[in-house]
Amino acid sequence: MTVGKKSNKPEPGEVIAVLKRIFAENGREYVGHYTLTVICLLISAATAGLAAWIMQPLVDEIFVAQRYDLAPVICGGIIAIFLIRGLATYGYSVTLAKIGNNVVARYQKRIFQHLMRLGVDFFSDTRSGRLAARINENVAGIRDLMSMTLRAVAGDLVTLIGLIGVMVWQQPYLAASILIIGPPLVWAVNYIMRRVRSVTRESVNINSHLIGAMQEAVQGIAVVKAFTMEDQLSARISQLVDQAEGRYNKIARVSERLGPITESLAGFAVASVIGYASYKASTTNHPPGDVLAFITALLLAYDPARRLARTQVNVERALVNARMIYEILDLEPRQGDAPDAATLSVRQGEVRFEDVSFSYAAGQPVLHGVSFTAAPGRTTAIVGASGAGKSTLVALLQRFYDVDGGAITIDGQDVAAVTKQSLRRSIAYVSQQPYLFEGSIRDNIRYGRPDATDAEIELAARLAAADDFIRQQPQGYDTEIGENGATLSGGQRQRVSIARAMVRNAPILLLDEATSALDNESEARVQQALNEAMRGRTTIVIAHRLSTVVNADHIVVLDQGRVVEQGTHKGLMADPGSVYARFFRYQGDNGLGLVGDAADTDRTELEVKGSDI
Each residue's pLDDT tens digit, 27-83: 777 888 878 888 887 887 778 777 777 777 777 676 666 777 777 887 888 788 888
Does 189 share its domain with 266? yes
Among 329, 354, 380, give the residue marking a domain's end: 329
Does 90 share its domain with 106? yes
pLDDT tier, 508 (very low <50, low <70, confident <90, very high otherwise): very high
Does 474 share its domain with 514? no
Which residue range(s) make up the domain with 588?
342-426+507-520+534-613
Residue 390 has pLDDT above 70, yes or no: yes
Does 578 share its domain with 455? no
Does 513 share its domain with 494? no
Among 278, 305, 329, give the residue marking a domain's end: 329
CA distance 225 to 222: 5
Amino acid at 591: G
Does 483 share its domain with 576? no
Q: Which of 48-62, 201-215, 288-302, 372-386 is modeled with the greatest confidence? A: 372-386
Residues 440-498: tens digit of each pLDDT: 899 989 988 888 899 999 988 888 888 888 999 888 999 888 766 777 877 788 888 88
pTM exceeds 0.75 for this model:
no
Does 260 share its domain with 170? yes
Among 299, 329, 359, give the residue marking a domain's end: 329
Does 110 share its domain with 240? yes
The verdict on residue 9 lying in a domain is no
**How much of the chain is in helix, strand and coil states, percent to nearest 5?**
65, 10, 25
Does 161 share its domain with 258? yes
> What own/partner pairs with CB < 8 Å and gap ≥ 24 does 365-369 have?
365/404, 365/561, 366/392, 366/561, 367/392, 367/393, 367/396, 367/561, 367/562, 368/560, 368/561, 368/562, 369/405, 369/406, 369/562
| Domain at 452, CATH number | 3.40.50.300
Does 301 share its domain with 412? no
Angle between the N-to-C axes of helices 182-219 and 258-283, in degrees from 0 to 180, rounded to the nearest 10:
150
Q: What radius of gyration do the chain's Cα atoms show?
A: 36
- Structural domains counted in the chain: 3
Cα 469 from chain centroid (whole Å)? 35
The verdict on residue 588 lying in a domain is yes
Does 414 share its domain with 298? no
The verdict on residue 2 lying in a domain is no
Does 189 share its domain with 289? yes
